[in-house]
Structure 1
Amino acid sequence: MKQPEIPRFSDRFGAVIIILFLALAGPAQAAKPVAQTDKARAAEPWSPPPRPEDAPLPRSARLGADEDGTPAGRTVKTPGGITESLREIALGVNEVLSGDHRQGAARLAAALPQAGDQADVAAYYQGLGLYLAGDAPAALAALDGLRARASQSFLGRDALYIAMESAARAGRPERTLALAEAWLTDPEPSLAPAVWLQAAAAATALGQRRKAEDFLRHLILDFPTSQSAKAGLALAEKLAATPDPAGGAAGFDPSAPDTVLLRAEALVEKGGAEAALALIPEAAPPGWTPAQAARGAYVRGKALFRQRKPQAAYEAFAQAVAADPSSSLAYWARYHQARCLWRSLRAEDAERGVALLREVLAAPGRDDPLKEVAARHLALMLAERGRFAEASDAAGQLKGLAVPPEAAAQGAALGAILRYVTGDMAGAEAELAAFAGRFPDDDWADGARYWRGKALTNLGRGQEAAGLWMEVAAGRPNTYYGGRAAAALASLGEVKGQVVASPPGKSPRCPDASEPPSPAVSAALAKAYALADAGLPALAEMALEFSAKAAPDRADLAMAHIRAAMDGGRRTAAMRTAWRTFGGCLLRGTPAELMPLRDALYPRAYAGEVVTALNGSGIDPDVIYSLIRQESFFDPKAVSGAGAVGLMQLMPETAKAVGKKIGIRPERADLFNPVVNIRLGVAFFRERLAREGSLAAALASYNAGENRVAVWNTGFGGLGEELFVELIPFTETRDYVRRITTNAMVYERLYLGKN
């Protein structure tokens, strides 16, 4: 699902040229001194942009025609049946959001004395209106009261942010810095880059150089692809070129070779591979040491690998190896070379990759993180080719390494499964028992119990296996391994009827839980419902989200927010609240307990289109609902970073190829049409299923591509569907297959098998 994007500053180059022209031509005829000051400051890349609305703004300031507010030029209306005070507030909010900033702010100022529990809404949008109208000092004053109690209102942190922007525009660096530091105690990723930038600019203006450099370091290395980072880079370069009046040690110099390398690595990790390559040319810049040049080649290799250019990446890593073949960096480069070779799918390249990884594992010295990734990838590469005994030996090298718990758990799980695959049931049973004891809270703990049960069955200890499977099936029946365990129990004949969903005394919190009366909750619900009645549903949803997060044990608040979020198309927000409050119920609840969440979290949307497209295929429609849920959560407008479109996330080229076979010629725009997208997506999935022969392999092919899955089918497809899933070497694809399989099971339970 799409992640929130970082808002971007507008391009200021044109504004700078205009300012220079006006300066040469003579004094500007500005109506407001504040705006004149803004224009003068906007010549610096790190200064606030000329227009207030060009700064990154919180969601509450960007609500448009699809949420609350109306586009400019349209009549603002409010429903009848609400109080006159709330009607005035709703009108003022809509005016601010639709462009009548001053009129809306004035209306809200007049309504504020009678606003009651909606005073925070009136104060925030009054301040926002003044800010957008260019009156930064007045905005700062209007927001002062709400800012002081930011933790008590759903608009409090947004008020803090707009107050900070207003202080910056008003030329008050000490106030800007204080507000920025207060906001950064709980930063929100989409706005954090802008706040780091404002904090750095304010600290610079106050002469607090070290603090400014620290802010800039955070900004440039943590948010390297943001527009704020580009502006911050200019400020950092200016500071580095200016002697420190205090005469202290050299601070943050973004142009220093070691810092350039850090910046490039940050860009690679944050999706800025192209910018990283621009930062580090193929030939090391003058003044770089051999070690820095080798590091630069290494980082270039990582960037090229991210761009899916494995051959070029391999060659860049080769440069890093050649610089000092015995260095730690060279062995890391060899590990990455092996990954490049793995991408090619050719057997001979896989052999070269295996040899490189063995060379890394035989290296002198102790670099446990490197040994861990090398041994794990060697085991996966060997298993992919069906060489299970060698893979098991490679996994054995993971034992005893000092690595983080998550990496240790991955290695232990892989080693235990490979023991099982090679027929060492006693060894597998011992390792799986050890896993459950060592990593009881790991996501795969139930997997370890399930596979231990399988090993015990093969050892003739069926009663012990049944006990383990009962534990998994009863503890978390709505999970992948809960479903597998229930099926295994049924095959043993150990269980008659339905498995008990929740052990006695451990009933999870579910949507129908009775709640004790709470005046605070009643007030929060009344406030949100009043906003919805006033024609401000997005604000109502934001208020409910804030209240539900503050009281995660209240089922009534959670359900109110989930319904409001789904009505507003904010499926991810609804899912967050559901897992926060009802996580136990989602894992362990009965169909009856989960029923209030069914339509929100497991909808059978577009059922007619799905059933029509599946006609005659024999495919369970719940598989397609689960596939759509995983790919887009039923958002027909979804577009991935790779360019996949619509409900079933089809690449336009794939859609054209499939369409040719079924007699339609889809353009990209057609893929936003649910009828077309589902027809093409189902046709594509039917092709995958016919080719791969099993549901798990078909799902893996939908995610990872048919060529890769062909290798997997050859290497370990003969082991059966369950082991096929366990041995999928790509974590993303393995989790993808498990999720869709699990969700299809949950769909079947929630809809009682009625397709």
Structure 2
Amino acid sequence: MVQRRRIVMGLFGLGALGLGACARSMPMPGETTSSAEGGPSASASAAPSASAAAPVATALPAGTTAPAPSPARWADAVRLERWDEAEVQLDALPEADRQRPEMRYVRGRVALERGDAARTVELFTGLEKELPLLVDDIVRRRAEAASVAGPFAEAAAFFGKSRSLSDQHRAALALEKDGQLAQARTTLDRALAGAGRSRRKSDEAKLRAARARIAEAQGLLPITIADLRWLAVEAAGLPEGEAGAAALDRLKQSLAPKDQLARALALVRAGQAEAAVPILDELEKKKTVPHLDVLHARAEAKLKARDYPEAEKAFRVLSTLPGPRKVEAMYQSANALARGGQADEAIKRWLDLSSRFKKNSWAERSLYQAARWLLLRGRYDEAAPLYTRYLALFPKGAYREDAEYEQALAQLSASQPKLAQKTLSRLAKAAKKPDEAQKLRELEGLAAFRAGDRDEAVRIWTEVARTFPLSFAALAARSRLAAAGAPLPPLIEPAAARPANPLDLDLPDPARMLVSVGLDAEAEGRLLPFEREAAARFAGREAEALCGMYGKLAHARRRYRVGVAQVGMPQLLRAPGEADRWAWECLYPRPYLDEVQKLEGEHEVPRGLVHSLMRQESAFDQEALSPVFAVGLLQLMPKTAEKAAAEVGMSFEPSRLKSPHVNLRLGSYYIGKLLKTFRKTPVLAVAAYNAGPKAVGQWMRPGVDAEADLWVARIPYDETRNYVARVLGNLARYQWMEGGDAAVAPLALEVPVDVEVPPDAY
């Protein structure tokens, strides 16, 4: 989970992607009318659970009737993508139930997900006539299954009509299995000619991998080797790239030295630095490319692989060699020391570098890092004047804004609160985002309090608590008010007194049928084209209607996006009532609620924290994949997920990591593990979920000024600092929705700074 790019939310999550929710809705067959979203005055129907889902019979031939099977566990298993369990449950149904068209459809989908393509072809053959609601989907998925199990010519004909790269790839695979190698290669040639228009390198990698395999079968080794070399370099880190490199070895072909270097650098960029090191070691021995280039790449790989002692040694050697990157190597050797736990020595080196090279950009960076690490180490009296020196030497420096902010933090903890208060006030007024301004104002209140102006501090904290209720800044302000013995304002202004007028909502037939069999993600796609039409009959309440419709789905991605587009900030500044609770649930949905709450209880995770992470990590998109391959709802890094799976005794398959069942189970376990490591302190555990536990361990030590708001304010990564604030703000909202004011846990100001992070923490 470290150093991942993710969807970043603004204040309360508005203005970045989207959110979603629900209004009171009419039940589907087998559903209850009670709200699984819960909380005070709940007015929204929940996403369906297995016990609330029974197949509808909308697609039976006219004039026929049959009772739907009783609600069973299989629907929940399908929703959570527990395919093995779903198969067992479905196959245990009575024969009459299994032969219903919608049941054949869901059973075929389960078979396809389990890799039983032949069974899918069997179940889907002729099904489109019995289930016209899904005719296009049935035809396509039968073709997908046929491309694996046959009839291959039929699959090739179907996918060959499409212009999409993925469909062209499927067509070629079907032709290959049908023995039509020349036609398959022609199809891939045509697809690769258009691959340049794709923004995803993975598309081209799949096409080239297939062409290399087919060309080898045809005896066309020049084409094979050219594609394999492209894969080994350009797709390094992807499965196709690693398979390409292995195939080159099998064919006793090698990359040119410069391509080996390019491959190693690509692996480093892809987050697989450990795999790059052996390549670079070999290049260093052979000395077939410029020596300095190899040494720099190797040192960088060691740093990215978190082998800090070796990285420090490699950069230190480089710093003794002549060349244009000598000063950079000096900086990075100190950087490796700091990351490896030797911050005091790193500070000395940075200060030496900054005094020797003056205006060099690496000298600027060194001076700033020395000040920053003094701040993190609790050496505030030394940090504050060093920031002053940086700002004087580099008035237009790259780190000026950060330096002004961190200087104020140093002054605040170095018995210079009046200076800090002045700077924080100025920065708050200049802040471009309201949430950033309020966090700065909360710290300004602390500076006023430490300067002896209690009345001003109470005024500022009260204003922050009222202005953006349930935000991290407001929670911190309330804790400061309580500690100062000052009166607390309302947690949030009470709801406006408006009577509820529930909407009579229903889903379009295709979406309704898919939800009834547990295929909520597909139902979302079926509802999307009908949004305008479906909401039009609720003039003036279109947003509420859309959120209510999407609230019938366990899948929350589109709910979330609809909410961002439709719900305004004023609706979040006071508590919701019966009439407008849908807006909160739109912006703070709770997909897979039963499963999430079960896992939170199992791993001693505060109620609502998993959804709070999910909202910030993936915007509830189970298909989310970051540039460094963090996966799914909780954006798990594959290596982290693999270690977590081993600890919970679960087999690990990277291809299943997007599955809600797998992603939620491993992510819930991991945040629970972090909470145990950091003594049940959400501030620290959430920071560790983003930046890694070892990084958080570096930011804690006895003697630092470690109250929660100050500790978060000093987090050296902007991403992590904002992440912690947003997740804890999310948590407060989810807690309020669960039980009102009484359910919102106060922000504990005390942060344990003597936690020992285990060496094998991940």
Asked if 2 retains the 8 angstrom alpha-carbon contact of 1:65 and 1:71, the reply is: no
Asked if 2 retains the 8 angstrom alpha-carbon contact of 1:624 and 1:682, the reply is: no
* TM-score relative to the length of structure 2: 0.61
Please tell me whether residue 319 in structure 1 is matched to residue 317 in structure 2. Answer: yes
Asked if 2 retains the 8 angstrom alpha-carbon contact of 1:95 and 1:103, the reply is: yes
Asked if 1 retains the 8 angstrom alpha-carbon contact of 2:172 and 2:185, the reply is: no
Alignment partners' CA distance in 2, 1:683 and 1:539: 35
Q: Residue 256 of structure 2 aligns with which residue?
A: 255
Q: Residue 625 of structure 1 aligns with which residue?
A: 607
Of residues 682, 686, 704, the one that matches 1:716 is 704
Q: Residue 298 of structure 1 aligns with which residue?
A: 296
- 3-state DSSP of counterpart to 1:391: helix
Q: Residue 272 of structure 1 aligns with which residue?
A: 272
Please tell me whether residue 600 in structure 1 is matched to residue 590 in structure 2. Answer: yes
Residue identity matched to 2:590: A
TM-fit CA distance, 1:231 = 4.4
Asked if 1 retains the 8 angstrom alpha-carbon contact of 2:448 and 2:454, the reply is: yes
1:354-376, Cα deviation, whole Å (9 max, x unpaired): 122123434548664x4565344
Q: Residue 575 of structure 2 aligns with which residue?
A: 590
Segment of structure 1 superposing worse, 541-550 or 293-302: 541-550
Q: Residue 329 of structure 2 aligns with which residue?
A: 333
Q: Residue 120 of structure 1 aligns with which residue?
A: 136
Asked if 2 retains the 8 angstrom alpha-carbon contact of 1:610 and 1:678, the reply is: no
Alignment partners' CA distance in 1, 2:407 and 2:332: 22
Of residues 345, 349, 353, the one that matches 1:356 is 349
- 3-state DSSP of counterpart to 1:531: helix
Please tell me whether residue 374 in structure 1 is matched to residue 366 in structure 2. Answer: yes
Alignment partners' CA distance in 1, 2:287 and 2:151: 49
TM-fit CA distance, 1:277 = 0.7
- For residues 139 and 645 of structure 1, do their structure 2 counterparts lie closer, same or farther at Cα, with a shift above 3 Å needed? closer
Residue identity matched to 2:277: L
Please tell me whether residue 140 in structure 1 is matched to residue 156 in structure 2. Answer: yes
- 3-state DSSP of counterpart to 2:440: helix
Asked if 2 retains the 8 angstrom alpha-carbon contact of 1:439 and 1:445, the reply is: yes
Alignment partners' CA distance in 1, 2:296 and 2:532: 43
5 Å-filtered alignment, 1:280-291, equals 280-281=280-281, 284-288=284-288
Of residues 129, 145, 162, the one that matches 2:170 is 162
Alignment partners' CA distance in 1, 2:318 and 2:352: 16
- For residues 421 and 62 of structure 1, do their structure 2 counterparts lie closer, same or farther at Cα, with a shift above 3 Å needed? closer
Q: Residue 658 of structure 1 aligns with which residue?
A: none
1:112-165, Cα deviation, whole Å (9 max, x unpaired): 4676452320221121122112454421322356x46x7xxxxxx865663465
TM-fit CA distance, 1:378 = 1.7
- For residues 318 and 471 of structure 1, do their structure 2 counterparts lie closer, same or farther at Cα, with a shift above 3 Å needed? same
Asked if 1 retains the 8 angstrom alpha-carbon contact of 2:687 and 2:720, the reply is: yes
Residue identity matched to 2:714: L
- For residues 419 and 532 of structure 1, do their structure 2 counterparts lie closer, same or farther at Cα, with a shift above 3 Å needed? same
- For residues 344 and 89 of structure 1, do their structure 2 counterparts lie closer, same or farther at Cα, with a shift above 3 Å needed? closer
Please tell me whether residue 532 in structure 1 is matched to residue 522 in structure 2. Answer: no
Asked if 2 retains the 8 angstrom alpha-carbon contact of 1:548 and 1:557, the reply is: yes
TM-fit CA distance, 1:353 = 0.7
1:91-112, Cα deviation, whole Å (9 max, x unpaired): 6556655666467547646444
- For residues 181 and 529 of structure 1, do their structure 2 counterparts lie closer, same or farther at Cα, with a shift above 3 Å needed? farther
Asked if 1 retains the 8 angstrom alpha-carbon contact of 2:424 and 2:440, the reply is: yes
1:376-395, Cα deviation, whole Å (9 max, x unpaired): 43223212332224323444
Alignment partners' CA distance in 2, 1:677 and 1:481: 28
Of residues 461, 473, 478, the one that matches 1:481 is 473
Segment of structure 1 superposing worse, 546-555 or 442-451: 546-555
Please tell me whether residue 688 in structure 1 is matched to residue 696 in structure 2. Answer: no
Asked if 1 retains the 8 angstrom alpha-carbon contact of 2:560 and 2:589, the reply is: no
Q: Residue 37 of structure 1 aligns with which residue?
A: none
Alignment partners' CA distance in 2, 1:332 and 1:197: 39
1:250-289, Cα deviation, whole Å (9 max, x unpaired): xxx95243x4333323212323122101110177243445
Segment of structure 1 superposing worse, 428-437 or 229-238: 229-238
5 Å-filtered alignment, 1:219-618, equals 223-232=235-244, 255-257=256-258, 259-281=259-281, 284-288=284-288, 292-324=290-322, 327-345=323-341, 349-362=342-355, 364=357, 368=361, 370=362, 373-396=365-388, 397=390, 400=395, 403=398, 410-425=402-417, 427-429=419-421, 431-433=423-425, 435-436=427-428, 440-441=432-433, 444-455=436-447, 472-473=464-465, 476-485=468-477, 496-500=489-493, 525-533=508-516, 536-537=519-520, 539-540=522-523, 543=526, 556-557=545-546, 561=550, 564-565=553-554, 590=575, 592=577, 593=581, 596=585, 600=590
Residue identity matched to 1:688: R
- 3-state DSSP of counterpart to 2:325: helix
Q: Residue 31 of structure 2 aligns with which residue?
A: none
Asked if 1 retains the 8 angstrom alpha-carbon contact of 2:425 and 2:440, the reply is: yes
- For residues 265 and 612 of structure 1, do their structure 2 counterparts lie closer, same or farther at Cα, with a shift above 3 Å needed? closer
Total equivalences in the alignment: 611
1:187-244, Cα deviation, whole Å (9 max, x unpaired): 5687674256558999999x9x99x989976x656642222113455899999x9xxx
1:413-471, Cα deviation, whole Å (9 max, x unpaired): 32342343345556545544554566514974442333244446667888987887677
- For residues 189 and 66 of structure 1, do their structure 2 counterparts lie closer, same or farther at Cα, with a shift above 3 Å needed? farther
- For residues 590 and 642 of structure 1, do their structure 2 counterparts lie closer, same or farther at Cα, with a shift above 3 Å needed? farther
Q: Residue 246 of structure 1 aligns with which residue?
A: none
Asked if 2 retains the 8 angstrom alpha-carbon contact of 1:609 and 1:678, the reply is: no
Asked if 2 retains the 8 angstrom alpha-carbon contact of 1:562 and 1:600, the reply is: no
Residue identity matched to 2:732: M
- 3-state DSSP of counterpart to 1:298: helix
Alignment partners' CA distance in 1, 2:288 and 2:501: 65
Q: Residue 752 of structure 1 aligns with which residue?
A: 740
- 3-state DSSP of counterpart to 2:701: helix
- For residues 384 and 200 of structure 1, do their structure 2 counterparts lie closer, same or farther at Cα, with a shift above 3 Å needed? same
RMSD across aligned C-alpha pairs, in angstroms? Answer: 6.1
- For residues 425 and 178 of structure 1, do their structure 2 counterparts lie closer, same or farther at Cα, with a shift above 3 Å needed? farther
Of residues 122, 130, 147, the one that matches 2:146 is 130
Alignment partners' CA distance in 1, 2:673 and 2:443: 34
Percent identical? 18
- For residues 97 and 393 of structure 1, do their structure 2 counterparts lie closer, same or farther at Cα, with a shift above 3 Å needed? same
Asked if 1 retains the 8 angstrom alpha-carbon contact of 2:458 and 2:481, the reply is: yes
Q: Residue 712 of structure 2 aligns with which residue?
A: 725
Asked if 1 retains the 8 angstrom alpha-carbon contact of 2:117 and 2:148, the reply is: yes
Q: Residue 660 of structure 2 aligns with which residue?
A: none
Structure having the higher helix fraction is 1
Q: Residue 10 of structure 1 aligns with which residue?
A: none
* TM-score relative to the length of structure 1: 0.61
Asked if 1 retains the 8 angstrom alpha-carbon contact of 2:90 and 2:98, the reply is: no
Residue identity matched to 2:709: E
Asked if 1 retains the 8 angstrom alpha-carbon contact of 2:442 and 2:473, the reply is: yes
Asked if 2 retains the 8 angstrom alpha-carbon contact of 1:339 and 1:353, the reply is: yes
Asked if 2 retains the 8 angstrom alpha-carbon contact of 1:265 and 1:299, the reply is: yes
TM-fit CA distance, 1:339 = 2.5
Alignment partners' CA distance in 2, 1:578 and 1:177: 43
Alignment partners' CA distance in 2, 1:608 and 1:565: 16
Q: Residue 628 of structure 2 aligns with which residue?
A: none
- 3-state DSSP of counterpart to 1:625: coil
Alignment partners' CA distance in 2, 1:547 and 1:184: 33
- 3-state DSSP of counterpart to 1:332: helix
Residue identity matched to 1:350: A
Asked if 2 retains the 8 angstrom alpha-carbon contact of 1:78 and 1:91, the reply is: no
Residue identity matched to 1:330: K
Of residues 58, 73, 83, the one that matches 1:66 is 83
